[in-house]
Amino acid sequence: MKLLHVVGARPNFPKLAPLSRQARAVGIDQIVVHTGQHYDDAMSASFFRDLGLRPPDINLDVGSATHAVQTARVMERFEPVLLQHRPDWTVVYGDVNSTLAATLVASKLGFRVAHVEAGVRSGDRSMPEEINRIVTDRLADLLLTPSRTADRTLRAEGEPDDEIMFVGNVMVDALLYAVQRARTIGFRSQLGLSTAPITVTLHRPSNVDSASRLGAIMSALRDVAAKRPVIFPAHPRTRAQLAAHQMDVGQVRLIDPVSYLEMVDLVEGSHAVITDSGGLQVESTALGVPCLTVRDTTEWPETIECGANRLVPDPADLVDAIASITRLDDAPRPEGWDGMAAVRAVDCLRTH
């Protein structure tokens, strides 16, 4: 049996890592194709090492471009790779352009596609990720879901029961694999923090592309930072926006993007997290760290149901929201967020 994994952007790798480790453990042949949709220095050899991953076998180097152009380049370059390797499963992850592009190519050529993290929906089609998710799920032959909510969503979309397999959250597998090592690197002490900080990440166009929206968020963060340290590892596009509009960051500490292990250490030691990332909502929930999500919608409703996450669409509410949170050390984790999701996923791939 042969698996061909397709990943394209940084958030895909913590999903790939536990699956590829498990597949290796049970002796399945595999090839990792990195489309190169997203590439930066943080995605170096050390990033792969942190996740227990070998570097990708094939890099398609598509680089950044508009959605259509990027999707197009992945399609053109992936087709010959797929025809050369002819895997039993093309395994795609999450909701990036490469996920959609590889799925389109494989389904046209009659190759079976398995989608890891299927059935996740924000309900907001203005998010490009939502478009990638719904097309991928419609075409994929095996829908490996992270939650029972995702199962219900897929059934409501008419997907046949035998294609839907609840396996749990592979991102949590990667997190639990990394958390012990993350504690040993001492990233928090390098930052010289005396109290548990608030960790912030923002990268969505809806938050960072509009100067007035970003200004309102920064204003709230300045107020938060007056009471407690705020650490903001800034995505390059966010940093560029802040500079372009000469925004006052006050006592907010902007730092360069951090490694996977550094982020795990930072989040685990945080008082709370403020984010618009999907992955960080999951990771903070799994670590029992309260999360405030600066968006109208979430594709991870179980993080809200278990009490760990809260949507704060209006940045003006952030200061009060931070003041009213308590850390939930014994919060129940959602079903299947147990570090065994990849084991179940690989079982499904072998038996389906």
Task: Rule CB under 8 A: choose which of 71, 98, 281, 309 binds another protein.
Answer: 71
- Does 66 engage in binding with another protein (CB under 8 A)? yes
Q: Is 351 in the site for another protein (CB under 8 A)?
A: no
Length of the chain: 352
Which residue among 67, 227, 245, 327 contacts another protein (CB under 8 A)?
Answer: 67
Task: Based on the shown chain and the rule CB under 8 A, indicate whether residue 123 belongs to the binding site for another protein.
Answer: no
Choosing from 125, 181, 227, 245, the residue that interacts with another protein (CB under 8 A) is: 125
User: Encoding tokens for residue 331?
Assistant: 């919060």
Residue in 178, 224, 174 with CA at minimum distance from that of residue 199: 224
Can you tell me the distance from the alpha carbon of 141 to that of 165, in angstroms, rounded to the nearest whole number? 11
Q: Per-residue string for binding with another protein, 190-219, x by CB under 8 A?
A: ------------------------------
DSSP state of 11: G
Evaluate whether 230 touches 200 at the Cβ level (below 8 Å): yes
Find the part of the chain contacting another protein (CB under 8 A) among 62-70, 181-189, 309-317, 332-340. 62-70
Find tokens 């170096």 and name the residue: 44
Q: Encode 238-266 in three state secondary structure.
A: HHHHHHHCCCCCCCCEEECCCCHHHHHHH
| DSSP-derived 3-state class of residue 221 | helix
- Counting contacts by CB under 8 A, is residue 177 touching another protein? no
Stretch that binds another protein, among 7-15, 135-143, 164-172, 297-305 (CB under 8 A): 135-143
Question: Is residue 274 within a helix (H) or strand (E), and if so which, with residue range?
Answer: strand 272-275
Determine which residue in the list 1, 25, 26, 109 makes contact with another protein, applying CB under 8 A.
109
Measured distance CA(7)–CA(341) in Å, rounded: 18
Q: Are 329 and 301 in contact (CB under 8 A)?
A: no
Stretch that binds another protein, among 66-74, 226-234, 241-249, 311-319 (CB under 8 A): 66-74
Which listed range, 88-96, 156-164, 195-203, 249-257, lies at the site for another protein (CB under 8 A)? 156-164
Question: Where are the extended beta strands (E) located within 60-109?
Answer: 89-93
Half-sphere exposure of 86 (CA within 13 A, CB side): 2
Please tell me whether residue 107 binds another protein under the rule CB under 8 A.
Answer: yes
Please give the positions annotated as active site. Answer: 203
Residue 75 interacts with another protein (CB under 8 A): yes or no: yes
Instruction: Determine contact, residues 100/115, Cβ cutoff 8 Å.
Output: no
For another protein, give the closer residue by CB, 25 or 156: 156
Residue 128 contacts another protein per CB under 8 A: yes
Interface residues toward another protein, by CB under 8 A: 66-69, 71-73, 75-76, 78-79, 100, 104-105, 107-110, 125-126, 128, 131, 134-135, 138-139, 156-158
